[in-house]
Structure 1
Amino acid sequence: MESEEEILKAIGNRLKAIRINKGYKSYESFALDHDLGRMQYWRLEKGEANLTMRSLLKVLAIHKMTLQEFFSEGF
Structure 2
Amino acid sequence: MASKNDKEIKAGTKVEESIYLKKIGERLKYFRKKAGYTNSDTFAYDNNISRPQYGKYEAGANIQLNTLIKILKLMDVTLEEFFQGFSEY
Q: TM-score range by the shorter chain?
A: 0.7 to 0.9
TM-score scaled by structure 1? 0.88
> Percent identity among equivalent residues?
41
Structure with the higher fraction of residues in helix conformation? 2
| Distance in structure 2 (CA, Å) of the matches to 1:32 and 1:40 | 11
Q: Which runs of 5+ in 2 are unaligned?
A: 1-12
TM-score scaled by structure 2? 0.75
Aligned length: 73
Q: Which runs of 5+ in 1 are unaligned?
A: none
CA offset at residue 25 of structure 1? 1.0
Partner of 1:30: 43
| Distance in structure 1 (CA, Å) of the matches to 2:37 and 2:24 | 18
Segments of 4+ in structure 1 off by > 6 A?
A: none
2:82 matches 1:70: yes
Structure with bigger gyration radius:
2
2:66 matches 1:57: no
